[in-house]
C-alpha cells in the first residue's frame, strides 16, 4: 500500500491527512467500506427489465433479435444528479437551449418526418440506451411488422447488408414512439417501490426509525445514558435503514419524472 500526494505543497507536521473515497453511492460505500452517508448526493438507483420476463412476452424472439441488433441495455443506473435536468429540477437549466444540455445527445430518429421529436425530450432524464430497450419490448404486433417493412425498404431484400443499430432505433422510433416505453418504465419503477417497501414500510417509516433510534456501542450507551429513553441500534442496522430510505426517495423522484413524461407523451399523441 502506498499514498500519492496530489497536493505538492509540503505538509505541516502533525496536520491530519485526508483521503477521498470518490463519488460513490451508498450501495457501493456500504458494500466496500461498511458505512453510508445520509442524503448522499452521489446516490444512484438501479432499474432493470428482468430477462425472464422478456422470454414470456408476445413475439419475444423477434424482439430479442432487435434488442441484440441495437446493443440495447436491459438495465440502467440512474444517478441522483440526473434529476437536476428533469421536469422538477430545483433550478432552471442554463444549457436548455444552447445545445449543451441533454438534448444535444439526441437526434430525430424519424427519417420520414411522420413522427416528430416530442417537445419534452430535453427534460427526459432517462438514458436513451434504456429507453431504446423499453420501446422494443413494448412494441405491438403491427408496430413490429412496420419495423420489419421499414428496415427491408432501407437495406433492400436479398442483400448482405445489415441495418446498423442506429437504423434499427430509427425504425422503432418511427413505428411506436415513446408511449409504450414510458408506460413500461412507470410500471418498473412502481414494482421497484413495492419491493423496497415490502416488510419495511414507506420512506416516512424509515425516517421515524432513524429519529427514534441511535447507533453506538452498547456499553457506552448504557454507561452514559442510564436514564435515557433513547433506543440503540448497531451501525449495520442504521446504515441499512439509511441506504433503503435513500433508495425509496430516489425511486419516488424518478417515478414522478416518468409519470409526468408519460402524461406529456400521451397528450402529444392524442
Q: 255-269: per-residue pLDDT in tens?
A: 999 999 999 999 988
Query: What pLDDT, on the 0 to 100 scale, is given for residue 232?
Result: 82
Q: Which residues of the chain register pLDDT less than 50? A: 91-108, 218-223, 227-228
Q: 224-234 pLDDT, tens per residue? A: 555 445 578 88
C-beta atoms surrounding 175 within 10 Å = 21
Q: Which residues contact 87 (CB under 8 A, 6 or more apart)?
A: 120, 123, 256, 257, 260, 261
Question: Is pTM, for the whole model, over 0.95?
Answer: no
Which residue, among 23, 48, 76, 44, has the nearest Cα to 243 in the 3D structure? 44
CB contact at 8 A, 170 and 109: yes
Query: What pLDDT, on the 0 to 100 scale, is given for residue 157?
Result: 65
Query: CA–CA separation, 26 vs 28, rounded Å?
Result: 5
- H helix or E strand, kind and range, residue 147: helix 141-155
Alpha helices in 177-234 (DSSP H): 179-197, 203-212, 218-224
In 59-172, beta strands by DSSP E: 75-79
Determine whether 227 is exposed, middle or buried from the number of CB atoms within 10 Å of its CB (0-12, 13-18, 19+).
Answer: exposed
Query: What pLDDT, on the 0 to 100 scale, is given for residue 96?
Result: 44
Query: What pLDDT, on the 0 to 100 scale, is given for residue 216?
Result: 62
Amino acid at each position: 500500500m502506498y499514498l500519492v500526494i496530489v497536493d505538492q505543497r509540503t505538509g505541516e507536521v502533525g496536520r491530519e491527512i485526508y483521503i477521498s473515497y470518490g463519488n460513490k453511492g451508498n450501495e457501493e460505500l456500504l458494500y466496500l467500506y461498511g458505512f453510508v452517508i445520509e442524503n448522499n448526493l452521489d446516490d444512484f438507483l438501479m432499474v432493470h427489465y428482468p430477462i425472464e420476463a422478456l422470454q414470456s412476452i408476445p413475439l419475444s424472439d423477434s424482439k430479442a433479435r432487435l434488442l441484440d441488433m441495437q446493443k440495447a441495455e436491459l438495465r440502467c443506473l440512474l444517478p441522483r444528479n440526473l434529476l437536476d435536468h428533469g421536469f422538477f429540477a430545483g433550478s432552471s437549466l442554463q444549457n436548455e437551449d444552447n445545445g449543451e444540455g441533454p438534448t444535444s445527445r439526441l437526434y430525430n430518429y424519424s427519417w420520414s418526418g411522420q413522427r416528430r421529436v416530442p417537445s419534452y425530450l430535453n427534460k427526459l432524464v432517462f438514458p436513451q440506451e434504456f429507453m431504446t430497450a423499453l420501446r422494443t419490448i413494448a412494441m405491438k404486433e403491427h408496430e413490429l411488422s412496420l419495423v420489419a417493412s421499414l428496415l427491408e425498404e432501407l437495406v433492400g431484400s436479398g442483400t448482405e447488408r445489415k441495418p446498423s443499430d442506429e437504423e434499427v432505433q430509427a425504425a422503432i422510433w418511427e413505428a411506436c414512439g415513446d408511449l409504450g416505453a414510458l408506460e413500461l418504465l412507470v410500471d418498473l419503477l412502481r414494482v421497484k417501490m413495492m419491493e423496497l417497501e415490502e416488510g419495511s414500510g414507506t420512506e416516512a417509516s424509515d425516517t421515524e426509525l432513524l429519529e427514534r433510534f441511535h447507533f453506538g456501542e452498547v456499553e457506552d450507551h448504557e454507561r452514559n445514558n442510564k436514564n435515557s429513553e433513547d433506543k440503540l441500534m448497531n451501525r449495520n442496522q442504521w446504515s441499512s435503514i439509511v441506504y433503503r430510505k435513500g433508495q425509496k426517495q430516489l425511486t419516488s423522484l424518478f417515478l414522478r419524472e416518468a409519470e409526468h413524461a408519460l402524461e406529456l407523451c400521451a397528450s402529444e399523441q392524442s
